[in-house]
Amino acid sequence: MLSGSFLITLGSFAVLPYMSVLLHDRFGFGLGVVGVVLAVASLVQFSGGVVGAALAARIGLRATMLVALAVRTAGFAAFVPGLTRPVVAVAALFLVSCGAALYLPANKAYLVAGCGPERRPGLLAASGSAFNAGIALGPPAAAPFVLTSPGGLFTGVAVLFALVGAGHALLPSVADERVGDERVEKGRVVGGRAEDGRAEEGRVEEGQRVGEDRGVGSGAVAGRHLPPFAFTVLAVYVFMFFQHYLALYAVPRTSTAFYGTVLMGYAILLVVAQPLFAHRLAALPYAVALRLGFGAMASGTAVLALGGRAGIAVGAVLLCLGEIVLFLKNDLEALDRSTAPSATVFGRQRLAAGLGAFAAAVIGGQLYGVAERASAVPVFWVVVSAQAVVLPALLVVCVAGAARRRTGGEPVAARLPR
């Protein structure tokens, strides 16, 4: 499964990062049209995860992955005739996006099926590292062939996906799990019931309920009240400003070679560090992880505003740490709280990521344009940094207000067991 994850992103990112070049330079699409096509394709790839989860619930995890890989194989193969037919090329891009939407929830759910909470963080982190390793190596591997022999590149990627699909056909069938139902620790509530089966708010031991964070002081919002879906939207929203606009900012101030080195270092750090920190992140209280993650993103984007090689390099490292903390912890928290099948949880998380990415694409372009016209591009990163601080804080305030209304006006922390 991990090898397949690496090969899938290796093949995908041998093609997808160059789509803007192909659509604009080869087919003559205007940049505005190119932006709309790529934005819609990205939204389909992310938000379609809920469809992938529904399909997994109906036909099973392995069958869903096989369907998804068949769709992606057909999509990459369709790029070959699409080289002379723009409409076919756009259709091929959407086929590839639909395949990704169907595949990822089932992939993650299959990976953690049958694993207890002690193994789940390491497996999800290893899966993320495998995906990111493919993302890092795909573009440079394909660079010599994109413009000189794109037909051969698309054919090779289609063959690679066909082989990966054949490998998936050899996997055993496994049932999806309802992670929230498992009895993970003595004294914790299981699926909303006490361990003896009596329906009640929850019998606890040592003052701990599922999803609650230890060490929450008076006046704070309990970690169990903080919604992973909403914080995933915010985390991806902030991160995608960096993803979309670092190149525009960094290349004119440094060089293409330095920018490429930063991206390679970012990928290496992500691949190595996420599995190393996985179990520590799993043990962190959710509220603490949110403060660390958004704090790292806020600091990283603020440092980017300084410009220069040092500012861009340090900012990228901080943003990488923020991604490591927030992306993994939000998935783990969503799994721990839900009694839905794992594929459904991952599908919802993909939808949250899609909403965040789409909002960043729409708002980021306007903000960057304003900053560029005002000859104050570093201010763009200051605004992003402020959002990384203000938006999570506003969400916490809203959650606290809603929790107080549910509890009749009593402060949330006052109801936590001491």
Q: What is the CATH number of the domain that holds 397?
A: 1.20.1250
Scan for tokens 């995890």, then name that residue.
61
Mean pLDDT (the chain, rounded): 81
Residue predicted with more confidence, 179 or 307: 307
Range of the structural domain that residue 134 is part of: 1-177
pLDDT recorded at residue 285: 93
User: What is the rounded distance in angstroms from the CA atom of residue 160 to the CA atom of residue 137?
Assistant: 15
- Across the range 299-304, mean pLDDT stands at 96
Instruction: For the beta carbon of residue 210, count every other beta carbon within 10 angstroms.
Output: 17
pLDDT recorded at residue 310: 94
Residue predicted with more confidence, 59 or 142: 59
pLDDT recorded at residue 203: 37
Backbone angles phi, psi at 314, to 5 degrees: -65, -40
Residues 142 and 226 in one domain: no
Q: How many domains does the chain have?
A: 2
Residues 100 and 42 in one domain: yes
Residues 212 and 71 in one domain: no
Q: Please report whether residue 195 resides in a domain.
A: no
Across 288-410, the runs of DSSP E, i.e. the strands, are none
Q: What are the b/e assignments for 5-24, b being 16+ CB within 10 Å?
A: bbbbbbbbbbbbebbeebbe
Residue 211 has pLDDT above 80, yes or no: no
User: What is the rounded distance in angstroms from the CA atom of residue 45 to the CA atom of residue 102?
Assistant: 8
pLDDT recorded at residue 413: 46
Q: Please report whether residue 187 resides in a domain.
A: no
Cβ proximity of 41 and 99 under 8 Å: no
Q: Domain boundary at 177, 198, 223, which?
A: 177
Q: Please report whether residue 189 resides in a domain.
A: no
Q: Please report whether residue 184 resides in a domain.
A: no
Backbone angles phi, psi at 178, to 5 degrees: -100, 95
Cβ proximity of 194 and 205 under 8 Å: no
Could you report the per-residue pLDDT of 336-390, keeping only the tens digit for each? 888 888 888 989 998 998 888 888 877 887 888 888 889 898 999 999 999 999 9
Residues 363 and 412 in one domain: yes
User: What is the rounded distance in angstroms from the CA atom of residue 302 to the CA atom of residue 387?
Assistant: 11
pLDDT recorded at residue 224: 63
Residue predicted with more confidence, 198 or 287: 287
Residues 172 and 216 in one domain: no
Residues 153 and 213 in one domain: no
Q: Please report whether residue 111 resides in a domain.
A: yes
Q: Domain boundary at 177, 195, 225, which?
A: 177
Two tokens, residue 296: 């790292």
Q: How far is CA 131 from CA 60, 147, 155, 334, in A?
A: 22, 25, 21, 20
Residues 135 and 13 in one domain: yes
Residues 172 and 211 in one domain: no
User: What is the rounded distance in angstroms from the CA atom of residue 3 to the CA atom of residue 144?
Assistant: 24
pLDDT class of 416 with cuts at 50, 70, 90: very low
Q: Please report whether residue 188 resides in a domain.
A: no
Q: Please report whether residue 192 resides in a domain.
A: no
Residues 139 and 22 in one domain: yes
Residues 269 and 133 in one domain: no
Could you report the per-residue pLDDT of 167-200, keeping only the tens digit for each? 999 998 887 766 555 544 444 444 444 444 333 3
Over pLDDT 90: what percentage of the chain? Answer: 32
Q: Domain boundary at 123, 158, 177, which?
A: 177
pLDDT recorded at residue 78: 93
